[in-house]
Amino acid sequence: MSEYMSISKAAEYLNVAKSTLRNWEAEGLITPLRTASNQRRYTKEMLDEVLQGNVKASKPKKLLTIGYCRVSSGHQKEDLQRQKDVVSRYCEVNGYQFKIIQDVGSGLNYKKKSLTELINMICKKQCERVVVN
């Protein structure tokens, strides 16, 4: 059974900085295991593969840009449409692959369905950026 190393121990084993391991992960050169608390864990075999140069970079997937639009009430549907048009045009001009998420409800209410979806996407690193008008 393989022994799992923290990022500090793995960096020491490879004689590199912890930031180097994070960069290699972002480039797809290494994929550490994650604990329940989202900490990186490495095996000696995994690190030896990197040392031997047997790992090829995978092309990182392109993440979506999320356009978030919100109005306070249903009476503001025209304003919501204007926001969606402005955010869409901005994303198109900048060449972003995007998705528009919209909500109708008070800014003081944090239990809006689309806002919760947006927060979950951010926490799971499923989007590259958020555009708000």
Q: Where are the domains of the chain?
A: 4-51, 64-132
Strand order in the sheet with 127-132: 98-104, 64-71, 127-132
What is the set of active-site residues?
72
pLDDT at 114 (0 to 100):
85
Residue stretches of the chain with pLDDT short of 50: none
Q: Is the pTM of this model over 0.75?
A: no
Question: Residues 53-79: pLDDT tens digits?
Answer: 765 555 556 788 999 999 988 899 999
Please report the pLDDT score of residue 80 as a whole number: 93
The CA-CA-CA angle for residues 116, 65, 72, to 5°, reads 45
Q: Which two tokens stand for residue 11?
A: 């960096």
| Continuous H helices in 15-76 | 18-26, 44-51
- Architecture of the 4-51 domain: Orthogonal Bundle (1.10)
The domain made up of 64-132 has a fold known as Rossmann fold (3.40.50)
pLDDT value, residue 109:
72
